[in-house]
A and B are shown apart, each in its own frame.
Chain A
Amino acid sequence: MENNSEKITIYVMGKKHMVPEDLTIMKAMEYSGHQFTRGAGCRGGYCGACATLYRKKGSYKLEGALACQKIVEDGMYIAQIPFSPAEKKTYILDEIKPEAATILEYYPEVSRCLACNTCTKACPQDIMVMDYVQASLRGDITQAAKLSFDCISCGLCAVRCPAEIVPYNVSQLARRLYAKYIDGPSEHVLERVKEVEEGVYDQDIKELMTASKETLAERYNTREIDLNE
C-alpha cells in the first residue's frame, strides 16, 4: 500500500506502529499488518461490527468509536472490541406485553442504572442511550424505541456501563414491543405483501432470475435511486 501522508505513531494493543495520519483506525490497523477475521463488516459505519476503544495521548479518558469511521491520532492507544459478551434472551413476542415489567423480567439489571450517562458518551451513533434505558425502566416503550432507532448494536455502551446493563439488547426488545403492540403493521408493507401474493411481481422476478450477468450489471449500474421516496 502506498501512501505519502505524514506518518504518526499509534499503539495497537500496546504495540507501536507508524501509520499515515489520514487513515481510519481500521485502515491503519490493516496498514500495520493486521488482518480482520472478526470485528469488520460494512466499513461504512452502518453495521456496528468494528467497535474500538482508545485513549488519546495525554488523556485519561477512555473513548469509543467505530474503527471504520474514526481517523487515527498521534499517540493513540487502540484495542478492538469485536464482541461484547452478553446473553441473548429468548422471548415469544406474542406472549409478552409492552410494559416495564417485561423489560425487567428479561433484563432486571436495568433497574441498576445510575443515570451516569457513560453509555451515551460511548455511543458512536450519538444516541441518548441512558435516556432510552430510563424510558424502558418506566415502561415508556415508545420513547425507548424511538430514541434507540439508530442503534447498530456495536456494544460500546454495554462494555462501558458501570451497572453492567446491555443497553442494545434492552432497546431491541423495546423496538420489537413498539413495532408489534404500539406502532402496528405499516399499511404500505401490507399492500406490498398483498401485491406479491397476487403475483404482481412474478414476471419481473422471472426476468431477473433468467437475465445474464451483463444485463444484471447494466441494470444495477443504471438504476434510479430516489432518496426522497
Chain B
Amino acid sequence: MTKLAYYPGCTLKTTAKNFDDSTVASAKALGIELVEPERWNCCGTVHALAKDDVMHHLAPVRNMLRVQEMNSEGQVDSKEMITLCAMCYNTLKRSNQTFNEDSDKKQKIQDIMFKEEATYSGSVEVKHFLETLKEMGWDKVKEAVKTPLTGLKVAPYYGCLLLRPRGIGIDDTDNPRIIEDLFEALGAEVVNFAYKQKCCGSYNTVHMKEVVGDLAHKILKQAKDGGADILATACPLCEYNLGPRQEQVKVQYPSFDSIPVVYFTQLMSLAFGLGDEAMAFEANRPDPRPLLREKGLLEE
C-alpha cells in the first residue's frame, strides 16, 4: 500500500459522503491508502482567492502545512496532497502556487501565522486524485476492474474548477481527456459532448436557482442528445446543480427527462466490485440504480 495524504474537504464529510466513501475504497483497491490529516480546516473555497486578499490564503496554506507535517513525521510516502472536491483542489492548488511564486504574499502569510508550531515551506504538491490515477497508468486501473462498465454510456463532466484558470488545470483546458481515459479503462462507452466544461451555475443555486435550472438543462440535454445514460463529475457543487436541481429544471422545462449524475469514484467502485457501502448510490438524486440494474451492472 502506498500511503498518500488525503484532504477530503468539508463537503465530502457532510453532503457528499458518497464521494468520500467511494474514493477511499477505490483508492484502496488500487493499492493506495489515503491518510487524512488528524487536523485540517476548510480549504477556504475559491471565492476567497481575490488577488489583494492575503488573509484568505491562511486556510489553504494551513492545510498544506498539515500535510507537510505528516510528511516530515513519515506518515505518508510522498509530498503529495490528494484532493477530490474540485473546489478544494482549485483553491489549494492556486494558493500553493501564490505562496511559492509571490514572495511578498508569502511573507505576509507567514507573518500572520506567527508563533505557531511549524512554518509552511511550500513543499507540498497539491494533486487531484484523477492525476494520481493517470500517473499510475490506465492499464493498472484496467487490471483492477472486475465488472467492466460495458454498455454504459458515460458523459464526463469537468465543470470549471478542474481545468481553469489555465496553468493549474489537471488537463488541457480546452480539450481534456483525463476522465474520458478513466472511463475507457473502466470499460464504459465515453460520450463526448460540447458542454463538458460549461459552468453549472455554481453558487447561484442559493439565490437564483432559475440560472442553474437553465444551465443544468443545457448541459444535461447536450449529454443526453449525445446518447449519454449518466454523467460523471468530480465536484460536489456540480453534482448538486446537475443532480438534485433537476427538479428545478423540470419546473422550467416540463418535457425534460431526468438523467443520473454520479461521482466518478462511485462508478470506479462499481467497476472494481467494491460493494454497496463503497458505491453509496442511495445518496444520489436522481437514483442511478435503476439504470445500472437495467444495464446489468448492478444486481436487483
Contacts and interface: CB of A to CB of B under 8 A. Distances in A.
B10 A100 contact: yes
B265 to A, nearest CB: 19
Interface string B22-53: 00000000000000000111101000000000
B207 interface: no
Interface in A89-121: 99-101, 111, 113-117, 121
Contacts of A199: none
B96 to A, nearest CB: 15
A115 B10 CA distance: 13
Contacts of B10: 100, 137-139
A15 B58 CA distance: 37
A102 B14 CA distance: 12
A140 interface: yes
A116 B39 contact: no
Contact of B41 (A100, A101, A131, A162): A131
Chain A facing B: main interface SS: loop
A140 B41 CA distance: 11
A115 B44 contact: yes
Nearest to A61: B114
Nearest to B12: A138
A140 B59 contact: no
Contact of A128 (B39, B40, B55, B56): B39
Contacts of B56: 114
Contacts of A111: 42
A138 B58 contact: no
Contacts of B251: none
A116 B113 CA distance: 7
Interface string B1-14: 00000000010011
A113 B14 contact: no
Contacts, number: 47
A117 B56 CA distance: 12
Contacts of B42: 111, 113, 115, 134, 137-138
A162 B54 CA distance: 14
Interface residues of B, number: 17
Contacts of A128: 39
Contacts of A162: 55
A157 interface: no
A223 to B, nearest CB: 41
A49 B260 CA distance: 56
Contacts of B58: 114-117
A128 B40 CA distance: 12
Contacts of B283: none
In the complex, which of the residues B14, B41, B59 has the most CB atoms of chain A within 10 Å of its own CB atom?
B41
Interface residues of A, number: 19
A100 B14 contact: yes
Contacts of A101: 14
B62 interface: yes
A145 interface: no
Contact of A131 (B39, B44, B115): B39
In the complex, which of the residues A115, A116, A128, A162 has the most CB atoms of chain B within 10 Å of its own CB atom?
A115
Contacts of B115: 121
A44 B40 CA distance: 33
Contacts of B136: none
A47 B72 CA distance: 39
B118 interface: no
A162 B59 CA distance: 14
Interface string B60-102: 0010000000000000000000000000000000000000000
Contact of A99 (B14, B113, B116): B14
Contacts of B41: 113, 115, 130-131, 134, 137
Report the 7 A-B pairs with minimum CB-CB distance, sorted nearest first. A115-B59, A134-B41, A138-B10, A115-B41, A138-B13, A100-B14, A116-B58
Given A99-B14, A117-B58, A139-B10, 8 more contacts: A101-B14, A115-B41, A115-B59, A115-B62, A134-B41, A134-B42, A138-B10, A139-B13
Interface of B: 10, 13-14, 39-42, 44, 55-56, 58-59, 62, 112-113, 115-116
25 contacts: A99-B14, A100-B10, A100-B14, A101-B14, A111-B42, A113-B41, A113-B42, A114-B56, A114-B58, A114-B59, A115-B42, A115-B58, A115-B59, A116-B55, A116-B58, A116-B112, A117-B58, A117-B113, A117-B116, A130-B41, A131-B39, A138-B14, A139-B10, A139-B14, A162-B55
